Each structure stands twice: as structure tokens, then as C-alpha cells.
Amino acid sequence: MKIKIFIAVLCLFFYGCHSSSPSKSATILRVNFSEDPATLDPRKGGDPISTTCKFMLFEGLTRMTPFSNSELALAKEIAISEDKKVYTFHLRDALWSNGDPITAHDFVYAWKTQLEPNFPAPDSLLLFPIKNARAAKLGELSNQAIGVKAINDKTLEVTLEHPISYFLDLISFCIYFPVPHKRGFSQEITNGPFMIQQYQPNNCMILEKNPLYWNAQHIDLDGVQISFIKDETTTLNLYMQQKIDVLGSRFSSIPLDALSQIKKHKDFQSMPLGATSFCTFNVNTFPFSNVHIRKAFAYAMDREGIVNHITQLNEEVAFDPIPPLLKKNCVHGFFPKQDIEQAQEHLKLGLEELGIEKKDLQNISLVYLIGDTHTKVVQALQHQWMNVLGIRVKLEGYTNKVYLDKLMQRDYQLGYALWIIQYPDAMNIFDRFKFKSNAKNYPGWENVRYIDLLDQSIIASPSNRMHSLLEAEKLLIDEMPIAPIYHWKEALLQQPYVSGVYISPIGSVHLNSAKINKGKIYEN
């Protein structure tokens, strides 16, 4: 009876998705994304929208806290071997939303399937600390050799290639979530705080509280309404009408044109985020196979101008690839500021080495993700490159899925990209560029010395680890497969009647403690 009442409430509330007011009998958090998630399968995807949805629907062995460290979730106890290479996870009694027990076999199934050579898992790199995981993904070994096994239904044993200090943080990311081994993935079966009650693509997704979630007694929300509205001004107006409860961060962005006024609003918050915007050069295609051409474009960029006049949140200009939140782990500051003379000199050298003239560079195109901020930034870059280099770059904007496909398939010359860190260690960035077989290595760059330095850092003492990462960073910057632009701050609007929504410094959104003071919703 309770479920029927809840669905009836939702049907009324979500008629038109955002056109009516919620019933006072249900506490529903209302948010918006600019488009649908590319996938809800924890093993696939990795774009911010998909990742945020997965954190609402699923949970792993550990989970991220507001302080970007991990705590126990489905694991109730963890034993670590003396050599710190073998982790034994003892699972708590927990159920999938359909009533099936969650077992160690679900983790083995989820991890091993995404390590199959042909399985589309662009973030499978994050599983490579597990023994033989990379070799299995490359087809060099059977998945039976992968260092993960179910000792019994409630005991999971994981063997690593080498000890890594951040492993318990790493496994809190969604790629390490389980999938039912008997049924396979189905978006109707979840194990997190919420489950899908209704999904209308390009319209809305309705989540209801999962009564079988192991920690359900501490979930205050009855559900989450997710609308899919592309226009940022529309979503801001809905927020001002109290029809959306949280805006910004991993949810829909606040329009840039309104930001100067919104920053004065009583609901406004701003905080650093472990994210970076950058240009990526396809080093395996003309003309960015030439390092001087890459450096010409990098030196011509006016990062300070972009931060001061476009993004407006006093972000840190990126002269290095590592977000400030991770800078305690290595030393930074090598990346060049705008230098018109250097840009033009590198352009001259690149043209000579390629045996071409400047007119041969007039058909370069830049791919980017459609969005207010992204559009304004790439327009600024287009203007800067024209002014400094005399090269007009054509802009090609795409929706999220097409855009990511182009980057991961390297079907581009020049791209405007971003990353949001997935665990709180600088290796999350460095590892992207270790092997060009990694789908998230958008430039397709690989360097033997760089690989060796990262391997050294894994087994090194803390001080030697920093030295190896520093050398790797210098090499990455000197080769310049990417050109960082700025490290993010996130802008957030949250209605005063909402509390407990926390967004960790690495950008993960968590609703486990979210609450709505229903009395305040209706005061206006």
C-alpha cells in the first residue's frame, strides 16, 4: 500500500516533470541535468551525468565522505596482508532492490566483465592496480588470472600488482560497484539508496527510496526528481520559482551571463573542485603530431583572460595538469603563461619541420561539449589563436555522447576537454597518459620514459615517489599532448529548505544525508 501511495504522489508531482508542486506528504529532491545519462551501467561510461546518477543508484565496498576519504559501505570489515597486496573484504548482509542477496560473486562478475578485451569500459584503467587486470584487458591473459575471487558468498579477496596507499579510496568510485552475477546489469535492479521508478528519456527520471538498501533507515528523502532540460536560463528560472532545489556543480550549470548577479544571492556557494579544463591535441594526426605546433597553440592561450572575463569564479589558472586539491602530492608550476613571441617561434619551427605554410593550417577544427561556459571558452580560444598565430580554428560543438565518442575514438584534431578526478591522488591524472590504449588518453600519447617513471613511483618511498611524479610531470608538459587552461571552482545554488546534500572535493554528489524541511518549502 505504501508503494502505491508513493507512486500516486509521484505521478501527480511529475506530471510534466516540473510543472506542478510536490505533495506535502513526500520529501522529493528536484534536480536537473542538461541531458540524459549516457549509461547507468556502473561498468560503462564515466561522464559526469552518468557518474552522478550511479552514485544515487549504486554503492560499492567503500564510499566517499564529504572530506574525500573513504569509509566502509558494503564491506563491514577489511583485512590487509602484511605486504599490503592482498585485501580481504567481509561483506555485510545486504540485498539488491529485487530482494536477491549481494554477494562477493557480484563484484567478481562486475570487475571481470569490464576487463574483457571487447567490453566497452573507458574507465577500466582504474582496475589495473589489480593483479593481471591490464594483461586481461589486452587479451594477454585469461580473466581467470585476474587477482579477484570470491572465497565464499560474503568474502571477497583482491590481490594487487603492487601496494598502493589509495586503494580503499579508489574502490569507492562507481567502476568498482557490483553488478548481479546471476542476472547481469538491469537499470531496474540497484543496491544504493534509490531505485528507478520511472524513466522517460529526454524528459525526466523519477527515483524512489530503495527500501532494501542496507542503510535505508538513515535515508530521509522519499525520492529524487531528475528533469532533463538543456537550456540553462530555463533551469535557473525554475530554481528561482522553487521548482528545482539544487542547481550547479554536477547538476545543471548556472548561466554565465547571470553569474555576476547570482554570486550575490543568499543561496549561492562556491568551492574548489578537483577538475580541470584543458585543450587536447591528437598527437597522431596532422598537424598536432608536431610538438612545435602543439606548443604554438599552448603558448598563444591567455588563461588569465579566460578566468578573469569568462568563468568568473576566481579559478586558479592551470600552468600544470594537476588540480590544486592534489598538489600536496607533487610539485608544480612548469606550464607556460601566454607568450606571443614563443608561440610565433614554435609555429615557425613547426611549419618548417612539416614542410608546410600557414595557409595549410586554416582547416583545423576543435571539438567541444555544447554548453554555455564551454562555448564561451572555445570562442575566446578561437579569437586568441587568430590574433597570435593568424590561424582561424573551426568550432564543432556536440552533445555529450557524440563528443565523448569523438575524443575516445580520437576522431578529432584539437579538442576542448575536462576531467573530474575519481579518487584523491595525483596518479588519477598521470595514469590517463600512461598507455595510449586507455580510452581516456584523448591525445593518444605514449612515452616509454613516462611509463617507467610512473612504475617507479608505485614502488618508491614517499619522497622518491614525489620525485618520480615530478619528472613525469615535466615530461608530460615538455611533450605537451595537452594544454591545461584552468582548475575549477564549482558554483552551487541550494534552496534554504534543503540540507545534507554534500559534494565532495573530488566532485562526487552524495544524497544519503539529504533532508528537506517541508515547512520551509511552502512559506513563500
Whether 493 is covered by a domain: the verdict is no
Query: Both 131 and 220 in a single domain?
Result: no
* Domain of residue 364, residue span: 272-488
Same domain, 260 and 356: no
Domain end (from 152, 174, 191): 191
Asked whether residue 393 carries a pLDDT value surpassing 70, the answer given is yes
Inform me whether the pLDDT recorded for 22 exceeds 50.
Answer: no
What does the alpha-carbon distance between residue 60 and residue 510 come to, in Å, rounded to a whole number? 13
The reply to whether 499 falls in a domain is no
Q: Are residues 227 and 181 in the same domain?
A: no
Asked if 383 and 285 sit in the same domain, the reply is yes
Residue 505 pLDDT level (bands cut at 50, 70, 90): confident
pLDDT by residue (tens digit) across 79-102? 999 999 999 999 999 999 999 999
Taking 70 as the threshold, does the pLDDT of residue 279 lie above it? yes
End of a domain among 131, 161, 191? Answer: 191
What band does 461 get if pLDDT is binned at 50, 70 and 90? confident
Given 135, 158, 191, the domain boundary residue is: 191
Question: What CATH number should be reported for the domain holding residue 157?
Answer: 3.90.76.10
Q: What are 425-436's pLDDT values in tens digits?
A: 899 999 999 999
Q: Is residue 501 part of a domain?
A: no
pLDDT band per the 50, 70, 90 thresholds, residue 332: low
> pLDDT-derived band of residue 521, with 50, 70 and 90 as boundaries?
low
Q: Are residues 9 and 146 in the same domain?
A: no
**For residue 14, what pLDDT band results from cuts at 50, 70 and 90?**
very low
Mean pLDDT of 136-157: 97
Which tens digit of pLDDT belongs to each residue from 189-241? 999 999 999 999 999 999 999 999 999 999 999 999 999 999 999 999 999 99
- Which one is predicted more confidently, 7 or 409? 409
Tell me the average pLDDT across 478-492.
94
Q: How far apart are CA 37 and CA 250, in angstroms?
A: 12
Distance of alpha carbon 226 from alpha carbon 53, whole angstroms: 9
152 φ, ψ (degrees, to nearest 5): -160, -175
Query: In whole angstroms, what is the distance from residue 414 CA to residue 347 CA?
Result: 16
Region 415-423 average pLDDT: 92
Contact 172, 423 (CB under 8 A): yes
Q: Is residue 214 located within the same domain as residue 287? A: no
Q: Say what percent of the chain tops pLDDT 70.
A: 92
In this model, does residue 19 exceed pLDDT 50?
A: no
Q: Are residues 259 and 299 in the same domain?
A: no
Whether residue 12 has pLDDT greater than 50: no
Q: How many CA atoms, within 13 angstroms, populate the side-chain half-sphere of residue 402? A: 9
Residue 359 belongs to a domain: yes
**What pLDDT sits at residue 319?**
86
Domain of residue 452, CATH code: 3.10.105.10
Confidence of residue 502 (pLDDT cuts 50, 70, 90): confident
Same domain, 222 and 314: no
Pair (332, 479) in one structural domain: yes
pLDDT of residue 333: 60
When divided into structural domains, the chain yields a total of 3
Helix axes 291-299, 340-354, angle to 10 degrees: 160
The verdict on residue 144 lying in a domain is yes
3-state secondary structure 156-221: EEEEECCCCCCHHHHCCCHHHCCCCCCCCCCCCCCCCCEEEEEEECCCEEEEEECCCCCCHHHCCC
Q: Does residue 496 form part of some domain?
A: no
Find all residues with CB under 8 Å of 377, minimum gap 6, and list them.
277, 306, 310, 311, 416, 485
Residue 324 lies in a domain: yes
Q: Both 284 and 407 in a single domain? A: yes
Question: Across residues 46-61, what is the average pLDDT?
Answer: 92
Of residues 47 and 221, which shows the higher confidence score?
A: 221
Cell digits of residue 512: 544519503
Averaged pLDDT score across all residues of the chain:
91
Predicted structure pTM score: 0.86
Confidence of residue 462 (pLDDT cuts 50, 70, 90): confident
Those residues with Cβ within 8 angstroms of residue 309's Cβ, 6 or more apart along the chain or in another chain: 380
Tell me, what's the pLDDT at 163?
94
Residue 139 lies in a domain: yes
Residues 254 and 280 in one domain: no
Question: If you average pLDDT over residues 311-316, what whole number do you get?
Answer: 91
Q: Are residues 241 and 316 in the same domain?
A: no
Residue 1 has pLDDT above 90, yes or no: no
User: For residue 212, what is the domain's CATH number?
Assistant: 3.40.190.10
The residue-averaged pLDDT of 310-339 equals 80
Q: Which residues contact 19 (CB under 8 A, 6 or more apart)?
A: none
Cα separation, 196 vs 217, in Å, equals 19
d(CA 106, CA 115): 14
